[in-house]
């Protein structure tokens, strides 16, 4: 009996403590929830405001002082962007063409290089790997002068291929890291069995590894697209003919506008259109994107 009371006395504070901890945990959860909502609001506000400005009438979008919400919905700003100078399709076409070539170059170069690095041992491999990482160490911003002169001589100025080469240089180390990690994560046994059967290393690559590294290749392509679509400085320098502009360069000339007055509504419509492909890719392929990001950046 006394034992039971003593036990109860011992248990009670423990239960009390547990109850307090649970209470604290609940409070912390509410706090975390509130903070999350606040963070989401702050992060989405600029995009929401830009979108709302893009569907105002041009006059309302340039009105001072500004208003938050459009009084009527108008697509006039978007119409202006579609007809801007050579037309949105010319600029988006340039951006897409450059991105497509960039993706192709990254895959053609990084898939075999990743295979070679992950699956073969030869003397000097480490040094050659460092050479492949040179674009990480030497900023491409510094190389634009010699590349500009080189491309001018080769007739690659204002060409999709020229700009894509620079974007591929930019994206190559990341792509190679990613492909090397993809190949390394495949069990050796798979390869050994095939080699026993007399397959050449290329057959192993094509038949056995090929399907297994498709996720890695998708990630390489995604990142190559986003880098190329968004890249600004090289596009500014190399695509100096108006019809060769990519989308970011088009946006800057939308801002410059005519007669010095900025067409704010059209500018925000342009901003919205320029981010749509990136946001779509991110939302639809978030898994590939985030895991690729982690694999290429730190591993």
Partner 1 sequence: MIATRKGRVGLLYMAPALIFVIAFVIVPLVQLVQTSLTDASLLGGSEFVGLANYARAFSDPTFMRALWFTARYTIIITPILMGLGFALALLTAPNRPLTQLTRGIVFLPVVIGLGSSSLLWFWLFDQQVGLLNKILVDVHLLGQPMVWFTKADLVMWAVIISVTWKVVGFGMILFVAAIQSINTEITEAAMIDGAGPWQRVWSILVPLTARTILLATLISAIGSMLAFDQFYIMSGGGPRGQTFTAVYWIYQSSFISFKLGYGAALSLILTAIILCFSALQVFLTNRSPNND
Which residues ranging from 250 to 289 are in contact with partner 1 (CB under 8 A)?
A: 251-252, 255, 264, 267-268, 270-271, 274-275, 278-279, 281-282, 286, 289
**d(Cα 59, Cα 84) in Å, to the nearest integer?**
18
Our CB check for partner 1 shows the closer of 8 and 69 to be 69
Binders in 119-178 for partner 1, by CB under 8 A:
119-122, 125, 128, 130-139, 141-150, 165-166, 168-169, 172, 176-177
**59: contact with partner 1 by CB under 8 A:** no
Residue 108 beta carbon to partner 1: minimum distance, rounded to whole angstroms: 7
Binders in 188-217 for partner 1, by CB under 8 A:
191-192, 195, 201, 205
**d(Cα 68, Cα 149) in Å, to the nearest integer?**
48
**d(Cα 87, Cα 250) in Å, to the nearest integer?**
10
Residue 126 beta carbon to partner 1: minimum distance, rounded to whole angstroms: 9
Pair of tokens at residue 66: 């500004």
Binders in 223-252 for partner 1, by CB under 8 A:
226, 229-233, 236-237, 248, 251-252
Residue 270 beta carbon to partner 1: minimum distance, rounded to whole angstroms: 8
Q: Give the rounded distance of the alpha carbon of 40 from its chain centre.
A: 20
Residue 1 beta carbon to partner 1: minimum distance, rounded to whole angstroms: 33
**55: contact with partner 1 by CB under 8 A:** no
Our CB check for partner 1 shows the closer of 40 and 79 to be 40
DSSP 186-238: S-HHHHHHHHHTT--HHHIIIIIIHHHTHHHHHHHHHHHHHHHHH--HHHHHH
Question: Which value, in Å, is the radius of gyration of the alpha carbons in the chain?
Answer: 27
Residue 32 beta carbon to partner 1: minimum distance, rounded to whole angstroms: 6
Q: Are 289 and 282 in contact (CB under 8 A)?
A: yes
DSSP 102-114: HHHHHHHHHHHHH
Pair of tokens at residue 198: 């007399």
Residue 197 beta carbon to partner 1: minimum distance, rounded to whole angstroms: 13
**115: contact with partner 1 by CB under 8 A:** yes
Our CB check for partner 1 shows the closer of 214 and 290 to be 290
**112: contact with partner 1 by CB under 8 A:** yes
239 Cβ contact list (under 8 Å, min separation 6) = 94, 158, 163, 245, 246, 249
Instruction: Pick the binder of partner 1 from 117, 239, 244, 266 (CB under 8 A).
Output: 117
**186: contact with partner 1 by CB under 8 A:** no
Handedness of CA 216, 221, 224, 225 (dihedral sign): negative
Residue 33 beta carbon to partner 1: minimum distance, rounded to whole angstroms: 6
């Amino acid at each position: 009996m006394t034992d039971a009371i003593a036990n109860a006395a011992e248990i009670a504070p423990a239960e009390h403590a547990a109850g307090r901890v649970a209470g604290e945990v609940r409070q912390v959860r509410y706090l975390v929830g509130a903070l999350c909502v606040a963070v989401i609001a702050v992060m989405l506000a600029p995009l929401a405001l830009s979108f709302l400005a893009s569907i105002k009438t041009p006059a309302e979008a340039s009105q001072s002082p500004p208003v938050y919400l459009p009084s009527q919905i108008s697509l006039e700003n978007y119409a202006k962007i579609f007809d801007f100078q050579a037309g949105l399709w010319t600029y988006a076409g340039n951006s897409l063409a450059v991105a497509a070539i960039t993706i192709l170059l990254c895959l053609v170069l990084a898939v075999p290089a990743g295979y070679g690095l992950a699956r073969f041992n030869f003397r000097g491999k480490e040094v050659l790997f460092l050479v492949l990482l040179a674009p990480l160490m030497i900023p491409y911003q510094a190389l634009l002068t010699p590349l500009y002169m080189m491309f001018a001589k080769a007739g690659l100025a204002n060409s999709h291929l020229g700009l894509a080469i620079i974007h591929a240089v930019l994206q190559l180390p990341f792509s190679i890291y990613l492909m090397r990690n993809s190949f390394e994560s495949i069990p050796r046994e798979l390869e050994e069995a095939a080699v026993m059967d007399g397959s050449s290393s290329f057959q192993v690559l094509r038949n056995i590894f090929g399907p297994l590294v498709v996720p890695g290749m998708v990630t390489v392509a995604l990142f190559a697209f986003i880098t190329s679509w968004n890249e600004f400085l090289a596009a500014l320098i190399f695509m100096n003919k108006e019809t060769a502009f990519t989308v970011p360069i088009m946006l800057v000339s939308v801002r410059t506008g005519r007669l010095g007055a900025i067409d704010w509504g059209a500018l925000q419509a342009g901003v919205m259109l320029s981010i749509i492909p990136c946001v779509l890719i991110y939302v639809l392929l978030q898994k590939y994107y985030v895991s690729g990001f982690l694999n290429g950046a730190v591993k």
